[in-house]
Amino acid sequence: EDQVTQSPEALRLQEGESSSLNCSYTVSGLRGLFWYRQDPGKGPEFLFTLYSAGEEKEKERLKATLTKKESFLHITAPKPEDSATYLCAVRTGGTSYGKLTFGQGTILTVHP
Amino acid sequence: KAGVTQTPRYLIKTRGQQVTLSCSPISGHRSVSWYQQTPGQGLQFLFEYFSETQRNKGNFPGRFSGRQFSNSRSEMNVSTLELGDSALYLCASSHGTSLTDTQYFGPGTRLTVL
């Protein structure tokens, strides 16, 4: 069974204090690893898709990387508006049409 | 391009009732997936529809069902509601033609069962 584990569960940073969120996965036949951001009471907002080990993607203060066992979401000089829950999800091969398996998320709070 | 829309946004029902939730995907997307989100279990996959056919189903009881129409809009139904069905129900749309497709989520329907 596919498993996705995110750590830490919660992270509190000061504005400008860079850090990383971790997503480790145990799956058979990874087809894609997805990062989403979710604000309270809203649906997840797509950030990145990573397909193969060694791949990196950047968007503003965020950078996502992928290895064969885990992915990191690096946040550089975060601002209070980066506060949200960050979700990691995987899509695997076989008959997994339409199915993403999610981790429990990391709640990020950035204090001014 | 308009995003994924879900109606209603909030619902309050009592145990034993049934409920129908609606999802309109992004224009051109043919796949709609449904998820249940709770504080304890996180986001869990319910089912996926593509071109009016259910292609995949998660581990939920038969009280949870869905359908998709020819315009790709989808509905999900929960019969004989239980207290544990209180959750945020999210739908996501994608092109559905590749396992690497990105899913885009709607704002969700908050269901409270009393």
Using alpha carbons only, what angle is made at residue B49 by residues B45 and B54, rounded to the nearest 5 degrees? 95
Q: Shortest CB distance from B31 goes to which of A87, A98, A105?
A: A98
Q: Are A57 and A47 in contact (CB under 8 A)?
A: no
Q: What is the pLDDT of residue A106?
A: 98
Q: Are B10 and B109 in contact (CB under 8 A)?
A: yes
pLDDT exceeds 80 at position A92:
yes
| Nearest by Cα to A31 from B72, B94, B10, B114 | B94
pLDDT exceeds 70 at position A95:
no
Q: Which residue has the higher pLDDT, A86 or A93?
A: A86
Report the gap between the CA of A15 and the closest CA in chain B (Å): 27
Confidence of residue A97 (pLDDT cuts 50, 70, 90): confident
pLDDT digits (tens, 9 = 90+) for A5-59: 999 999 999 999 999 999 999 988 899 999 999 999 999 999 999 999 999 999 9
Q: Are B80 and B63 in contact (CB under 8 A)?
A: yes
What is the number of other CB atoms lying within 10 angstroms of the CB of residue A56? 12
Q: What is the mean pLDDT of chain A?
A: 95
pLDDT exceeds 90 at position B96:
no
Establish if A32 touches chain B: CB-CB under 8 angstroms. Answer: yes
Report the gap between the CA of B6 and the closest CA in chain A (Å): 10
CB B99 to CB A101 under 8 A? no
pLDDT digits (tens, 9 = 90+) for B39-85: 999 999 999 999 999 999 999 999 999 999 999 999 999 999 999 99
pLDDT > 70: what percent of chain A? 98
